[in-house]
Chains A and B, each alone.
Chain A
Amino acid sequence: GAVVSQHPSRVICKSGTSVKIECRSLDFQATTMFWYRQFPKQSLMLMATSNEGSKATYEQGVEKDKFLINHASLTLSTLTVTSAHPEDSSFYICSASQGAGVGQETQYFGPGTRLLVL
């Protein structure tokens, strides 16, 4: 149980284009989803937290107009990197949890999406 998928696993795009990454919880309802960014050989950097049906909460320094997050249902969240630039190239990982209650806050991670912007 507690499987999270991401699509696509890899994407290469041209500078200036937009890229959408999907994150799905396959066997549980994800009240809360998280988006992380990971640079090579570095830790996770939390970008934003989203709750189903409400606006995402972005971490300091993360541009919300550049990284659009939509958590439209209890099983799907999307991250759209708008007008991508080479410096946006990174490994993006999502995670999902059932909520913030006792026993519900454990995060289950997707396999990640590697984005390369040329």
Chain B
Amino acid sequence: GEDVEQSLFLSVREGDSSVINCTYTDSSSTYLYWYKQEPGAGLQLLTYIFSNMDMKQDQRLTVLLNKKDKHLSLRIADTQTGDSAIYFCAVYTGGFKTIFGAGTRLFVKA
């Protein structure tokens, strides 16, 4: 079946860039998402990319999509302590079905 994989942890220093990676298996994916979850809260949609795009930039966030390798990444520039959270990669595969990765826990050290 479809699968979305992410590394579980990432630790960076404040001010550095963070890169969170995600791989997926379903080549028919149309929309790919990044969500952020802070402790005790729901998921906040950060950004998304359509499958015919290679890159999308939104302020400090840059999403890169490599369709050939089925690889999605989220780069956060100038990472701040407020960026500490869990980041979920999600892939829409059609028919009301969105597959979520397990989430990457980002730790930002001051």
Contact = CB atoms under 8 A, between A and B. Distances in A.
Contact of B42 (A43, A49, A109): A109
- How many A residues touch the partner, as a band? 20 to 34
B107 interface: no
Interface in B41-63: 41-45, 48
B71 to A, nearest CB: 19
Contact of A43 (B31, B88, B92): B88
Given A105-B31, A106-B33, A106-B48, A111 B96 contact: no
B40 interface: yes
A6 B100 CA distance: 21
A42 B35 CA distance: 15
B42 A112 contact: yes
A32 B31 CA distance: 17
A59 to B, nearest CB: 11
B102 to A, nearest CB: 4
A100 B94 contact: yes
26 contacts: A2-B45, A4-B42, A6-B42, A32-B96, A43-B100, A43-B101, A43-B103, A44-B43, A44-B88, A51-B96, A93-B42, A95-B42, A102-B30, A105-B96, A105-B98, A106-B45, A106-B92, A107-B45, A107-B98, A109-B44, A109-B45, A111-B42, A112-B40, A112-B41, A112-B42, A114-B40
